[in-house]
Chain A
């Protein structure tokens, strides 16, 4: 076992400045993950040339792969850095920011577009109020199982990073938002505005932009059945198109 680990990190000082690679060599400690190594760099920010540099900037919070903060591209694969165990990675380890979002600094990117997409597809239940209105509607277990899986989406961005159709210069909503539409369209009361969601998904940036490359489903760390969601929303959209034609 080598007693050091080498990290090659793609850095960028601000939104508008260019990027550059910097190498860090740190002592190898068993059971490390990428974040614990970034923390080691923070506690002793020195690059491989022995120069004191600013610590690397990245995002993280939960450190257990449920908050979605720490997504980055590790050895060319998009994933969460908190669950990337160093002993399982090829060395040297390369870290890059996601490429489908504007870089803020170093490995931190701005994913507000994904939260914006949740607004567009109205990913919420419209409630009559927060007072006591008694129990919700009973639901079969198999329905809960499907919904639960979909509701685990942590807006981490892996799916859209992997998607060939999602780019910095278009307005594709992306697999995560499509899948959330499916979740709310199957909820017993949120489905009351299913039509409005489908209207949005029929516009530019909607479901038609998906080229069915299926990269998204493979990239999703929560194993959310994204292609199923896309197919389901595709069906709902065609159904609506047909009924629009008949109503016209």
Chain B
């Protein structure tokens, strides 16, 4: 058989982890990235990476981590994958330490761990406040070493446009756009992995980086791949307002003791430090005595919305609350949180060690992504040799990292993404190579014509884009579309608004056809790419909005007040387990339960039968067709979430 290779698109944590692992196993890899991989979005991650190493002797374990992850995701995550991931987490952290990540240390020289949202344990390893940057650099260095050895070839400043599919619909390569010369060509690959990150730019301003448009996975969707759980978009409770970007204030600020509050009196115009302790409303601590400021993100974002919109207690009457670190010493803060405090200071001009920060919720992460598969073992773990792991519904096309949809269900826990990215890249590699070894025909032997046709098709498409001479500026159109998404498909969702937004998106799609390609040169011209990406973002906004419209329930980050089951405040999730046990045994002793609880539990069970499913979008007749698929919940029985 001819010499084979795998194409990896994207060099964030997921793409680099897969590249380095496959290279270790002897496979040639072509690594394609929009920009130098060292500048990938993963560098933005601040807070840390989870793994139940139990350094603090708290009795933490991978199974508790697994439970927190599944509960945090409101039971929509795929349990065997989560279990396997959490069991590999301590090893992954050790591996990254060996590869040179400068993790913070305990006095004895062990790795130090901090707290993060959605757990009661110190489970998050961190390198100052730039953990993502440090993890990415370590992987980047490994890949650079393989580049020198000739196993990895990099094509940076290149954009993935689409997959090359053979007559059987199998992926045998990728269409690539050289962002400098403007040339469009194809690269052959026996498997292609999309590790292209999340889609924050669909919302315009978010905590994401500028290349996070979701364009690569949307292109796969347009080619027939299934897209999963699109409507589950994580809103982070704490971001810093900004014109170009909503910079994140990491959850680690709360993990290290930061307290969230608002003045008790609406419209209080005093400076925060002039407001005495008893006139401050630490609403998270009061409402969630157990988890306090470290409730999961969906809960935190909703509470801030509630306090600002419903109670009108937002700082200066705006959608803002205080995040206060001023009770901690400068020395402690600089040591543990230096990087993020500098960001706050740099971009607002205010020193957060002296003044409480003003923060507000912002689009942060997509739990949804391209649909991918896996093979579980009897014990509920993952068979790492299976070629199905991380394969999309297009044979030979894989996905990993924020681009996929399986690990975080309805809401992701902080510091679980860096883990899922690295885990997935490493885990999937043996299976991808097994797939490659057994392909019926190597990409190299596929008739040339297939590739020249794919090239030609995209060259024509870009030529068409360059001819567009309407009167809409593509960047301005993007801003408008993003405003619509921010206004109506965010924390609190209402069907009438979602319906109206869907119609609006159709208008944007029409207006897209009237776009002006404001730069038509060939050399290093980002405009045609952006116009193509904008088209994809419009398609993706349909997936998100339609998924949200059709899902008539409240789960994780997807909150529809109309369908809130209103958990009674004195309810305990254990009663639900008892109720389910009795049900399974054939008879529920209804008198044994508080009647209000019983009604709630019945509704909860009914709702799960209907909605505890993955949303699947497939491209049909110019838009997403939505259906639902079962999720493996065999390891941890679904139950109501509770954090107080």
Contacts and interface: CB of A to CB of B under 8 A. Distances in A.
Determine if chain A interacts with chain B.
Answer: yes
B629 interface: no
Contacts of A108: 524
Given A124-B142, A151-B137, A104 B180 contact: yes
Interface string A134-162: 11101111001001100110110000000
Interface string B97-109: 1111011111111
A63 B209 contact: yes
Contacts of B215: none
A64 B44 CA distance: 8
Interface string B231-253: 00000000001111101100000
Interface stretch (B144-152, B187-195, B538-546, B589-597): B144-152
B615 interface: no
Contact of B133 (A127, A138, A154): A154
A128 to B, nearest CB: 9
Interface in B256-299: none
Contacts of A135: 94, 97, 110-111
A13 B519 contact: no
B526 A66 contact: no
B36 interface: yes
Interface stretch (B473-481, B565-573, B576-584): B473-481
Nearest to A34: B244
Interface string A106-143: 00100100010011001111110110111110111100
B141 interface: yes
A118 B243 contact: no
A187 B38 contact: no
Interface stretch (A25-33, A90-98, A196-204, A229-237): A25-33
Contacts of B141: 118, 123-125
Given A83-B347, A134-B94, A64 B102 contact: no
B138 to A, nearest CB: 8
B416 interface: no
Given A66-B133, A105-B523, A61 B105 contact: no
Interface stretch (A3-11, A40-48, A206-214): A40-48
Nearest to B53: A135
Nearest to B342: A65
A44 to B, nearest CB: 7
Interface in B462-484: 473, 475-476, 479
Interface residues of A, number: 67
A195 interface: no
Contact of B134 (A14, A67, A151): A151
Nearest to B244: A36
A148 B102 contact: yes
Contacts of A130: 20-21, 24, 95, 426
Interface in A66-85: 66-69, 82-83, 85
A59 B247 contact: no
B476 A118 contact: no
A104 to B, nearest CB: 5
Interface residues of B, number: 70
B426 A138 contact: no
A194 interface: no
B155 interface: no
Q: Which has the most chain B C-beta neighbours within 10 Å: A14, A54, A108, A148?
A: A148
B102 A66 contact: no
B196 interface: no
Given A119-B148, A132-B91, A61 B39 contact: yes
B626 interface: no
A82 B339 CA distance: 16
Contact of A42 (B109, B147, B343, B475): B475
A123 B243 contact: no
Interface in B111-157: 111, 127-128, 130, 133-134, 137-138, 141-142, 144-145, 147-148
A64 B344 CA distance: 10
A38 to B, nearest CB: 9
Given A62-B44, A124-B145, A115 B245 contact: no
A64 B109 contact: no
Contact of A68 (B39, B148, B242, B479): B39
Instruction: Classify the secondary structure of A's interface with B.
Output: loop
Contacts of A31: 241-243
Contact of B346 (A29, A61, A83, A155): A83
B408 interface: no
B495 to A, nearest CB: 32
A29 B243 contact: yes
Nearest to A106: B524
A42 B526 CA distance: 11
B43 interface: yes
A69 B35 contact: yes
B294 to A, nearest CB: 23
Nearest to B46: A66
Nearest to A42: B475
Given A33-B243, A62-B43, A144-B103, A55 B148 contact: no
A172 to B, nearest CB: 20
A127 B524 contact: no
Contact of B43 (A44, A55, A147, A154): A154
B631 interface: no
A139 B109 contact: yes
B364 to A, nearest CB: 13
B54 to A, nearest CB: 12
Contacts of B106: 141
A66 B43 contact: yes
- The winner among A29, A122, A130 for most chain B CB atoms within 10 A is A130
Contacts of B133: 66, 152, 154
A22 to B, nearest CB: 14
B30 interface: no
Nearest to A155: B38
B211 interface: yes
Contacts of A241: none
Nearest to B348: A31
Given A33-B243, A39-B244, A125-B141, A61 B473 contact: no
Nearest to A58: B526
Contacts of A190: 100
A134 B36 CA distance: 32
Contact of A133 (B20, B98, B476): B98
Contacts of A29: 243
Contacts of B130: 66, 152
21 contacts: A15-B523, A42-B518, A54-B527, A55-B519, A60-B210, A61-B40, A62-B210, A63-B242, A65-B346, A67-B39, A68-B38, A83-B346, A105-B523, A111-B36, A118-B144, A125-B99, A127-B142, A135-B110, A144-B104, A151-B100, A154-B133
Interface of A: 13-15, 29, 31-33, 35-36, 39, 42-45, 52, 54-55, 57, 59-69, 82-83, 85, 104-105, 108, 111, 115, 118-119, 122-127, 129-130, 132-136, 138-141, 144, 147-148, 151-152, 154-155, 184, 187, 189-190
Interface of B: 20-21, 24, 35-36, 38-41, 43-44, 91, 94-95, 97-100, 102-111, 127-128, 130, 133-134, 137-138, 141-142, 144-145, 147-148, 180, 209-211, 241-245, 247-248, 339, 343, 346-347, 349, 426, 473, 475-476, 479, 518-519, 521, 523-527
The 4 A-B residue pairs whose C-beta atoms are closest, nearest first, are: A138-B109, A136-B97, A124-B141, A36-B244
